[in-house]
Amino acid sequence: MVVRLALMVLRIAVLLNLLTGILFWTGNADSLVPVHMGLGILAVLSLWTLGFTQALTPGGSWGLALVAAVFGIILAASGGAQDQILAGSSHWVIQGTHLLLGLVAIGLGEWIGRRYRHRSVTLVS
């Protein structure tokens, strides 16, 4: 239940962040930056929850949990420091990197969720 909820929260948070990110890139809705950041924090917390449950699942992977933890830190740091990194005409590089990190986060969350479901079915059988 926790994994299903965390995965759904991650999906929704990343989707909404993609939408707000597109609005920022088009020069609209700069007032939504705090909402974007809040959703980003929620996405990272969801990813960490998935990683934590992966570590505590019998037969789960501590390595995958560590990847989720470190990746969450990198994603949050790249978002939080975006204004200070590559300011000027090269700023699109950090924006694109942050976008890719967000997409990888949802992929990582899906991978953890799939692995968790597979382990749960294997343990029940």
| Alpha carbon distance 104, 44 (integer Å) | 12
pLDDT at residue 62 tops 80: yes
pLDDT tens track for 1-36? 899 999 999 999 999 999 998 898 888 788 889 999
Judged by average pLDDT, the poorest of 38-47, 48-57, 79-88 is 79-88
pTM of the predicted model as reported, rounded to 2 decimal places = 0.87
**pLDDT value of residue 1:** 87
Number of domains in the chain: 1
**Could you tell me the CA-to-CA distances from 74 to 7, 44, 89, 98 in Å, in that order?**
19, 10, 23, 9
**pLDDT value of residue 119:** 73
Domain, as residue range, for 64: 2-124
